[in-house]
Amino acid sequence: MPDLTLEDIAAKVGVSRSTVSRVLNGHPNVRKEVRERVLAAIEQTGFHPNAAARALASQRSWTIGLLLPHSVSLFFTDPYYPHLVKGIAQACNHLDYTLAFFLVDDKDDEERIFSRVSRNGFLDGVLVQSGHHGDQRIIGRLVDARIPQVVVGRPMRSDNVSYIDMDNVHAAYTAVSHLLRLGRRRIATITGPEQSTVGVDRKAGYVKALGERDLPVDPALIVEGDFTEMGGYYCMQTLLAARPDAVFAASDIMAVGAIRAIREAGLRVPEDVAVVGFDDLPLAAMTDIQLTTVRQPVVSFGYRAVELLTDLIQSGDPSPRHVIMDTKLIVRGTCGALARK
Amino acid sequence: MPDLTLEDIAAKVGVSRSTVSRVLNGHPNVRKEVRERVLAAIEQTGFHPNAAARALASQRSWTIGLLLPHSVSLFFTDPYYPHLVKGIAQACNHLDYTLAFFLVDDKDDEERIFSRVSRNGFLDGVLVQSGHHGDQRIIGRLVDARIPQVVVGRPMRSDNVSYIDMDNVHAAYTAVSHLLRLGRRRIATITGPEQSTVGVDRKAGYVKALGERDLPVDPALIVEGDFTEMGGYYCMQTLLAARPDAVFAASDIMAVGAIRAIREAGLRVPEDVAVVGFDDLPLAAMTDIQLTTVRQPVVSFGYRAVELLTDLIQSGDPSPRHVIMDTKLIVRGTCGALARK
DNA sequence: ATTGGTATTGAGAGCGCTTCCAAATTATAC
DNA sequence: GTATAATTTGGAAGCGCTCTCAATACCAAT
């Protein structure tokens, strides 16, 4: 059965091309009996409408793009990405969109990809994974090109763009408050890079929790990490000089490094130093770690991102929207809460 | 600058639509001076040709699909996938193709995705990640629909389909031969599932290496694993009863589980039991493991897969082709080779 | 100048669909 | 029964591009 067209189906059923089109697109004004005959013919012939023709005529491709700029290296180590992609792919399936995937590796790629993304009629909109300062340029270009976009993870300059983000400030605030409630008073933090919004926001949550209890924010208790295990390890070594009784790490990986440093210094977790991480990676639940941490709903995050984008596309309203997702504190062993019972 | 068309550029430059199209597509017969004027106008206006119109007129979308069926769960744990996707995405960028991404989660998805994939004019071809028995149906459907496809990882029934695969038999053969050369004689193996081609092939390489030296294949030294750490652990416990002096695990993760079991039994690696894994995950290089293993060129694997598919598309020749990639044995501590020096 | 050949250009017919509009049909009210 | 409105259909004009074919421009050779 070589390429069938609408016309073929129309001829077969004895109606006009328009009618078949109406059936295909679920328009109301088609007689029930006719609709069924058309549907039967489509089913029987295995006809699939030509997507290009459809996109050309209707100015809608039912395809959205996912851009992963900058973050490429993390893409291979951080389970965040597969989960995010899962949520996005699921939503696309359910909403009947197709997902086009762009991995921006270098500057050269950016040009190629940008030109592909901005081809009229190919994408209805794009999702841009971001949260890092370096992603600013591509977001700006997309804004200039008036391509509907949703930034996944709040961008550094967030005016004029729609984005979806985790409530990082509140999550960190909750984590640190939890430590305070457990009686810890010299709480250190290993932050994410200042170049990243998660770094900034989680630190802000830390500061907020301390401030709320009128505790001083001691610069000696704050070190900027880089989201790696080694980074966490070295940061913790630095922090130990300031004799903290707890540490809030902005990621689980860094928390694992921190625990290693604490133990090497002859101290115990959580007795001497309580630890709270962020992410709830599988490794956090492992028996010899039992990390108290913040869980992010990454899959639904991706799902909601797609919903937001498709809403944007369908509404045609360019005014920016924002969605903030809630996180959850997962209490395990390293914060010392369980031992107190 | 709202949607420009070819015609607009043509009018601006004072030539016909055809000429602009020729410039856009790099046709030879355009006067140099005209070509430059057209290019200048395109540059200046920021014109991008409409992809849908192009696809409709030329019957080529310059888009390929990547289908990840079945394997979804592994997608989140195995670094193989991100690396594969990286290679694929890179190749797509370089060859000027767009990548459409399909994650098949359940049966329902399969229907939706299949109908999207088989829409005429949307995809020029598809890459199907496979190697598992359960992927057979979707591959068959794609063959029936005459959609150009390349299976990534040899499928169970490989007649009539083009595929690219690692040379798993030879890789396993090399790994086991290496152990034999080191004087090991009771070599056990933890295989992959019998449902997967990698499981079958790596076991075949093991058998081949033994056979070549006229060593018996002892069923007590072969256990079927499931590519998980726990699986490797339990398999090794079973194997220890047969007193092996070495074990070849069909994946690093299983090798790690095996090492745990060996050590718990009070035996030393590599002195009492040598271990060789497969994959060369980052964890294999970690200081406290130092796993001898087989490295697969996963990124280039993905890259080659795209090249193969695009060749297939461009040639229009439907006869199946096969590409086999070489692997490399990485000798570290667990095989005992370094200690002998 | 004329011829033949080649390089360059434009006209125009699609590609397969959506969608507006008017025509045809049917339902409803009088 | 007719008049009117509502519903269902078909005709036809695009959507923005490619590509064949014929026409024109250019070149060198006679």
The β-bridge partners of B35 are: none
- pLDDT at residue A1, as a whole number: 45
Among A77, A89, A121, the residue with its CB nearest the CB of B51 is A121
Domain ranges within chain B, ordered by starting residue:
6-58, 63-165+298-324, 168-296+329-340
Degrees to nearest 5, angle at CA B25 with B21 and B31: 70
Distance of CA B269 to the CA centre of its chain: 31
Arithmetic mean of pLDDT over chain A: 91
- pLDDT at residue B341, as a whole number: 44
Answer whether residue A164 shows pLDDT above 80. yes
Q: What is the CATH number of domain A63-165+298-324?
A: 3.40.50.2300
- pLDDT at residue A341, as a whole number: 44
Is A87 within 8 Å of A21 (Cβ atoms)?
A: no
- pLDDT at residue B175, as a whole number: 97
- pLDDT at residue B339, as a whole number: 65
Answer whether residue A73 shows pLDDT above 70. no
Q: Which of residues 39-78 of B touch strand C (CB under 7 A)?
A: 53, 56-57, 59
Among B103, B109, B119, the residue with its CB nearest the CB of A51 is B119
What's the pLDDT tens digit per position in A91-102? 999 999 999 999
Q: DSSP string spanning A305-317?
A: HHHHHHHHHHH--
Interface contact A185, partner B, CB < 8 A: no
Rounded distance between C-alpha atoms, residue B125 and residue B146, angstroms: 10
- pLDDT at residue B71, as a whole number: 61
Rounded distance between C-alpha atoms, residue B238 and residue B135, angstroms: 30
φ, ψ for residue A117, nearest 5 deg: -65, -35
Rounded distance between C-alpha atoms, residue A308 and residue A321, angstroms: 8
- pLDDT at residue B120, as a whole number: 80
In A112-171, the residues whose Cβ lies within 8 Å of chain B are 112-113, 115-116, 118-122
Q: pLDDT exceeding 90 applies to what percent of chain A? A: 66
pLDDT band at A146 (very low <50, low <70, confident <90, very high): confident
- pLDDT at residue B121, as a whole number: 82
**Closest approach of A79 to chain B, Cα-based (Å):** 7
**Closest approach of A178 to chain B, Cα-based (Å):** 30
Rounded distance between C-alpha atoms, residue B179 and residue B184, angstroms: 6
Distance B19 CA to D21 C1' (A): 15
- Is the Cβ pair B100, A98 closer than 8 Å? yes
What's the pLDDT tens digit per position in A273-331? 999 999 998 888 877 789 999 999 999 999 999 999 999 999 888 889 999 999 999 99
- E strands present in chain A: 63-68, 98-103, 125-129, 149-152, 162-166, 187-191, 222-224, 246-249, 274-276, 293-295, 322-325, 328-330
* Chain B residues lying within 8 Å of A119, measured CB to CB: 48-51
Distance B220 CA to C22 C1' (A): 82
- Domains A6-58 and A168-296+329-340 in one fold: no
* B17 CB contact with strand D at below 7 Å: yes
Return the closest-CA partner of residue B330 out of B295, B281, B282: B295
Distance B21 CA to D12 C1' (A): 27
Rounded distance between C-alpha atoms, residue A240 and residue A233, angstroms: 11
Interface contact A318, partner B, CB < 8 A: no
Q: Is the peptide bond before B28 cis (omega within 30 degrees of 0)?
A: no
B107-117 and B136-144 helices, crossing angle to 10°: 20
- pLDDT at residue A2, as a whole number: 56
Return the closest-CA partner of residue B122 out of A164, A3, A141: A3
Answer whether residue A131 shows pLDDT above 90. no
* Chain B residues lying within 8 Å of A50, measured CB to CB: 56, 119-122
What's the pLDDT tens digit per position in B186-216? 999 999 999 999 999 999 999 999 999 999 9
Place domain A168-296+329-340 in its CATH homologous superfamily.
Response regulator (3.40.50.2300)
- pLDDT at residue A71, as a whole number: 62
Interface contact B73, partner A, CB < 8 A: no
Each of the 341 residues of chain B gets a pLDDT tens digit; together they read: 457 898 889 888 889 899 999 999 988 888 888 899 999 999 999 899 999 999 999 999 999 999 998 666 667 777 888 889 999 999 999 999 999 999 988 777 788 888 888 888 889 999 999 888 888 888 998 988 889 999 999 998 888 899 999 999 999 999 999 999 999 999 999 999 999 999 999 999 999 999 999 999 999 999 999 988 899 999 999 999 999 999 999 999 999 999 999 999 999 999 999 999 999 988 888 777 899 999 999 999 999 999 999 999 998 888 899 999 999 999 999 998 886 44
CATH number assigned to the domain with residue range A6-58, chosen from the 4 options 1.10.260.40, 3.40.250.10, 3.30.200.20, 1.20.1560.10: 1.10.260.40
